């Protein structure tokens, strides 16, 4: 299973997670990043994100087309 597959499975099961929360579920620890892969999935229209972004208000990710 690729990293993209893992991210999509996690977000499909738990929509509304942040990049940090997704990374913790993928790697089962803090300090790992999935931002590059999330951006690729956004470009491929597999994910969409909502929110303001930035410190204290991170983006939340949803499967594309679900409206989040």
> Domain total for the chain?
1
**For residue 64, is it within any domain?**
no
Residue holding tokens 């931002």? 35
The pLDDT, as a whole number, for residue 61 is 97
CA distance 9 to 46: 11
**For residue 68, is it within any domain?**
no
**For residue 67, is it within any domain?**
no
Q: Which of 19, 28, 22 is nearest to 9 (CA)?
A: 22
The pLDDT, as a whole number, for residue 68 is 64
Query: How do residues 50-63 score in pLDDT, each as one tens digit?
Result: 999 888 899 999 99
The pLDDT, as a whole number, for residue 29 is 76
Question: Element (H or E) spanning 24, and its range?
Answer: helix 19-27
Query: How do residues 5-34 score in pLDDT, each as one tens digit?
Result: 999 999 999 999 999 999 999 998 776 889
List the domain range (segments joined by +) for residue 7.
3-58
**Size of the chain in residues:** 68
- Distance from the Cα of residue 24 to its chain's centroid: 11
**For residue 25, is it within any domain?**
yes
Helix (H, G, I), strand (E, B) or coil at 7: helix
């Amino acid at each position: 299973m690729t990293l993209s597959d893992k991210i999509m499975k996690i977000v499909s099961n738990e929509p509304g997670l942040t990049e940090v929360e997704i990374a913790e579920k993928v790697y089962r620890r803090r300090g790992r990043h999935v931002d590059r892969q999330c951006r690729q999935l956004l470009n491929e229209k597999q994910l969409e994100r909502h929110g303001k972004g930035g410190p204290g208000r991170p983006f939340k990710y949803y499967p594309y087309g679900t409206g989040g």
